[in-house]
Amino acid sequence: MYLVKGGFYILQIMENHYVCPHCRGQLKVGEYIIFRIRNASRDKGLLLLHPEIGNYSSMKHPQFEFREGDRVDFFCPICFQSLGATIDENLVHVIMIDSKQKEHKIYFSRIAGERSTYQVSDEGVRETGEHSYRYTHFKLSDNLIQYLNT
Ligand SMILES: [Zn+2]
């Protein structure tokens, strides 16, 4: 909400959208991005992640468990394809579309408890999270970033 002179409020839609790189289905509903996940015991469940990059709050059913350090499998809840990044088996890949309709590749760790997120755009890479130093694929020069595959 933005306050406009004169006392009127307008709701400005500045939201980012998140889509599946396979089916382009919208992954964000309300305040969360929805993923179908599978834990180390191969139990399936749903995980909701906060859409703000660097905000690691998440929601899941309390009976669906995974432990710190587990590698959780992420799938698109619409087309069921794996969202595992091909560049690193520990990373998940989705596409973020910003309010200017510009696309960014988002990568984040699928190791439970690990905070590493990378936003890859034409302009370069933005790293977020205390463990982002662990993945070095993104230390390329900006010229090379455009050749980075999913
Ligand atoms: Zn999909």
The answer to whether the CB of 97 falls within 8 A of the CB of 105 is: no
How close is the Cα of 126 to the center of ligand 1, in Å?
A: 24
Output the CA 75–ligand 1 centroid distance in Å: 8
CA of 45 to the centre of ligand 1 (A): 16
Query: For the segment 52-91, what is each residue's pLDDT rounded down to a tens digit?
Result: 988 888 999 999 998 999 999 999 999 999 999 999 999 9
Q: Exposed/middle/buried for 110, CB within 10 Å: 0-12, 13-18, 19+? A: buried
Tokens of 16: 């980012």
Band of the pLDDT at 145, cuts 50, 70, 90?
low
> In sequence order, which residues have a C-beta less than 8 Å from that of residue 15 and are 6 or more positions away?
28, 51, 99
- Between CA 38 and CA 24 the distance in angstroms is 21
pTM: 0.83
